[in-house]
Structure 1
Amino acid sequence: MNRIISPQAWKLIAKTLGVDEACLRAVAQVESSGGGFMRSPSQLPKILFEGHVFHRRTKGRFGASHPGLSYPRWDRSKYSGSMAGEWKRLDAASALDRVAALESASWGAFQIMGFNYAACGFDDVDAFVAAHKESADAQLAAFAHFISRPKFLDALRGRNWKGFAAAYNGPEFAKNRYDTKLATAYARFAAQSQ
């Protein structure tokens, strides 16, 4: 299992998508500090469990009994503060509704939500999760499939950071300065490649 995306994989995906490699690397940097796995010796991918998504996907069934896992609106204070803690939250939610829990976490280097499994080329969320556990290159391949639509590709090809941020991170991207972070990361990677 490769825990770091190989240089060959970056080059191949960039060429296939017709996108500057530095753009792709910038997304990984902003989403996960560039790596999709927890520190060794763990073999698990990075995740972030989103209780408000779990609440939606389970129609609020667990809101009263498990308010730390299921709540109607995004709430930063519900995060555990560590990757190991996020896995504990995911495991606890999985005991309630496994599929909904897996779909309610963002996965790997590109922090793609599990409910996007079909847009990443998978038949179900289990196959999506298995790929994210398999290798960093498999995470990159899922991301490439996910962004192979015009709203993502056109923005990346044109380095339209606001457009990409809105499509990838949602309409409230500006709260976290997602577009500015992407532009800064891109500038760093582009300078390194010269």
Structure 2
Amino acid sequence: MAVTQADIAAFASRLGCTVNQIAAVATVESSGGGFDKFGRPKILFERHLFHRQTGGKWSPSAYSDATAGGYAVDSWDKLGMACGKDPDAAFGSCSWGKFQVLGLHWSKLGYASPYALALSTVKGEAAHYELLARYIEKNGLTDALRALSRDPDDCRAFARAYNGPGYETYKYHTKLAAAMA
């Protein structure tokens, strides 16, 4: 089910931000779209998170390694291989949908399991916005989201909180500012 402009406006109102601010996050996180060419939710499998959650039991492999990387291997393939070993850790090790919210946050965001969080993203794009809204609300990021502007310095707080300490290395703050244009 496609999300409408009215749906997006309702999420922006709920978060007290502009539609443009939400659109900037979508652009940076998933090039704006929530689904791949096969109609599956976009995912990014993080092998280092699977390694961490499983104590490295299946490392090194395409889906489990102490270091981040291995992005040349399709994330859906890695998810499938990892599910054969530990499904909860596998679903928790992926960032899901239009806003790339990590499955590890399932409990804090009110989902019954990492799988339930993942399954929610299959239902339609509105579920991706719901996932974003929950993440922002539960992590106290509403003010940081509202501060997004064309100035990269205004985007630092959100980029740091949303993307972690490596945000500067990957220039998330400058990408957000550019997406606000």
| TM-score, reference length from structure 2 | 0.92
Counterpart in the other structure of 1:176: 170
Displacement over 6 Å in runs of 4+: none
User: Given the alignment of the two structures, is residue 79 of structure 1 paired with residue 71 of structure 2, yes or no?
Assistant: yes
Give the number of aligned pairs.
Answer: 176
Decide which of 152, 155, 162 is 2:156's aligned counterpart.
162
Counterpart in the other structure of 2:96: 107
Counterpart in the other structure of 1:47: 43
Q: Deviations over 1:14-50 (max 9, x none)?
A: 01111111111100100001011012xx231010110
Separation in structure 1 between the aligned mates of residue 139 and residue 115 of structure 2, nearest angstrom: 27
Separation in structure 2 between the aligned mates of residue 154 and residue 132 of structure 1, nearest angstrom: 25
Letter in 2 for 1:23: Q
Counterpart in the other structure of 2:56: 60
Separation in structure 1 between the aligned mates of residue 177 and residue 157 of structure 2, nearest angstrom: 12
Whether the aligned pair in 2 keeps the contact of 1:51 and 1:70 (CA below 8 Å) is yes
Counterpart in the other structure of 2:35: 37
Structure 1 unaligned spans of 5+: 188-194
Shift of 1:8: 1.3
Q: Which has the higher contact order (CA 8 A, sep 6+)?
A: 1
Shift of 1:150: 6.2
Whether the aligned pair in 1 keeps the contact of 2:108 and 2:138 (CA below 8 Å) is no
Separation in structure 1 between the aligned mates of residue 139 and residue 88 of structure 2, nearest angstrom: 29
Separation in structure 1 between the aligned mates of residue 108 and residue 59 of structure 2, nearest angstrom: 28
Counterpart in the other structure of 2:63: 69
Separation in structure 1 between the aligned mates of residue 127 and residue 65 of structure 2, nearest angstrom: 32
Whether the aligned pair in 2 keeps the contact of 1:156 and 1:164 (CA below 8 Å) is yes
Structure 2 unaligned spans of 5+: 149-153
Decide which of 75, 92, 101 is 2:81's aligned counterpart.
92
Separation in structure 2 between the aligned mates of residue 150 and residue 97 of structure 1, nearest angstrom: 27
SS at match of 2:55: coil
Separation in structure 1 between the aligned mates of residue 118 and residue 147 of structure 2, nearest angstrom: 31
Letter in 2 for 1:61: K
